């Protein structure tokens, strides 16, 4: 398989199952919190490791006992934790409020974040890099790395040139109307001349990809019963990174990523388990390309 580097967070999620939908002003009953491994970087890295890739996680943990637990869990799933650094203080912890329909609300309690860009990224060999972090100005690091391999990053409306990457991915729910009205224009503002694709996910409706040469692709999501939507975007990103690391084109990568995201919502936990990933890889043979409007 391929060498993939993931830049993002690793966290302890405390999951509270609610008895009804989370609405403002309501009084709800919840089960006692259940701890599990989470964080956008870890969720993506573990799914990719389950696919058989050599995956390195560039992240930060604290100096508390929780840090050792998080690193041990990620390592057990096959992720290289060597590039994870320790920052004085508490590791990242979040509350995940999960309603009966599988919809989640995340409340960050503590964050472990590096003050400076992680220069060690440049020393890691990679066939693909995935970035799920906007805590630092990564422009110089990513511009250098983009000359060596494909880079996928979460779409963030930051200053021009802050994310010089090949593929920007964003959820329709998280992006404002200006970006949704002209994804390529906003993508170019953020990524510059490195950009090749902007991908917008639409939850249960699938995803769209907009290419710099005027291409527009759509992939519909399978009809599934949601159990836990936590990490669905991270699973989508893992599918995209998996495809691009194997040098598949976007017409192949987009429907594959949609299926990975859809599979995640049918499972509990914050990331795709090994058996599900292996099933997805087996099922990917012979799938058709997305439609072109």
Q: How confident is the model over 17-40, as pLDDT tens digits?
A: 999 988 888 888 999 999 999 999
- Closest by Cα among 157, 171, 129 to 2: 129
Fill in the DSSP letter of residue 220. Answer: P
* Cα–Cα distance for residue pair 20/183, rounded to 1 Å: 35
Q: Is residue 292 part of a domain?
A: no
Q: Which domain holds residue 84?
A: 3-22+30-283
- Mean pLDDT over 210-235 rounds to 95
Q: Is residue 290 part of a domain?
A: no
Whether 69 has a pLDDT exceeding 80, the answer reads: yes
User: Both tokens of residue 140?
Assistant: 């110089």
Whether 286 has a pLDDT exceeding 80, the answer reads: no
How does pLDDT run across 91-101, given as a tens digit for each residue? 999 999 989 98
Q: Is residue 129 part of a domain?
A: yes
Average pLDDT, the chain: 92
- Note the pLDDT of residue 89: 96
Whether 204 has a pLDDT exceeding 70, the answer reads: yes
- Answer whether 207's CB lies under 8 Å from 223's CB: no
Whether 289 has a pLDDT exceeding 50, the answer reads: no
- Answer whether 71's CB lies under 8 Å from 265's CB: no
The tally of domains found in the chain comes to 1
More confident position, 134 or 154? 154
Whether 254 has a pLDDT exceeding 80, the answer reads: yes
* Cα–Cα distance for residue pair 148/160, rounded to 1 Å: 22
DSSP notation for 142-169: HHHHTTTS-EEEE----STTS---SEEE
Q: Is residue 88 part of a domain?
A: yes
Q: Is residue 288 part of a domain?
A: no
- Closest by Cα among 20, 151, 184 to 98: 20
Model pTM above 0.85 = yes
Query: C-alpha distances in angstroms, 255 versus 17, 152, 227?
Result: 31, 16, 21
* Cα–Cα distance for residue pair 70/46, rounded to 1 Å: 12
User: 167-197 in b/e burial notation, b at 16+ Cβ within 10 A?
Assistant: bbbbbeeebeeebeeebbebbbbbbbebbbb
Whether 87 has a pLDDT exceeding 90, the answer reads: yes
Q: Is residue 165 part of a domain?
A: yes
- Answer whether 121's CB lies under 8 Å from 141's CB: yes
Weakest-pLDDT range from 194-198, 209-213, 282-286 = 282-286
Q: Is residue 73 part of a domain?
A: yes
- Note the pLDDT of residue 290: 47
- Answer whether 8's CB lies under 8 Å from 133's CB: yes
* Cα–Cα distance for residue pair 270/192, rounded to 1 Å: 32
Q: Is residue 293 part of a domain?
A: no
The CATH number for 222's domain is 3.40.1190.20
User: Both tokens of residue 292?
Assistant: 């072109």
Pairing relationship of beta strands 11-17 and 92-98 according to DSSP bridges? parallel
């Amino acid at each position: 398989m391929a060498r993939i580097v993931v830049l993002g967070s690793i966290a302890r999620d405390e999951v509270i199952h609610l008895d009804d939908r989370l609405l403002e002003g309501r009084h709800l009953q919840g089960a006692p919190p259940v701890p599990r491994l989470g964080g956008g970087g870890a969720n993506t890295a573990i799914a990719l490791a389950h696919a058989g890739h050599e995956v390195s996680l560039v992240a930060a943990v604290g100096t508390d006992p929780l840090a050792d637990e998080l690193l041990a869990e990620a390592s057990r799933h096959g992720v290289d934790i060597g590039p994870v650094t320790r920052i004085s203080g508490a590791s990242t912890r979040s509350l995940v409020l999960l309603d009966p329909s599988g919809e989640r609300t995340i409340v960050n309690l503590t964050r472990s974040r590096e003050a400076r860009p992680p220069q060690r990224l440049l020393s890691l060999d990679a066939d693909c890099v995935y970035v799920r972090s906007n805590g630092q100005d990564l422009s110089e690091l990513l511009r250098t790395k983009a000359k060596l391999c494909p880079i996928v990053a979460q779409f963030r409306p930051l200053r021009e040139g802050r994310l010089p990457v090949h593929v920007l991915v964003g959820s329709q729910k998280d992006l404002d109307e200006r970006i949704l009205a002209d994804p390529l224009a906003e993508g170019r503002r953020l990524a510059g001349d490195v950009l090749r694709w902007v991908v917008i996910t639409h939850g249960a409706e699938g995803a769209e990809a907009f290419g710099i040469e005027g291409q527009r692709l759509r992939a519909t999501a399978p009809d599934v019963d949601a159990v836990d939507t936590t990490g669905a975007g991270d699973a989508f990103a893992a599918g995209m990174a998996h495809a691009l690391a194997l040098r598949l084109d976007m017409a192949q990568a987009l429907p594959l990523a949609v299926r990975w995201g859809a599979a995640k919502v049918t499972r509990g936990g914050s990331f795709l388990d090994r058996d599900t990933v292996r099933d997805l890889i087996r099922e990917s043979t012979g799938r058709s390309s997305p439609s072109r409007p």
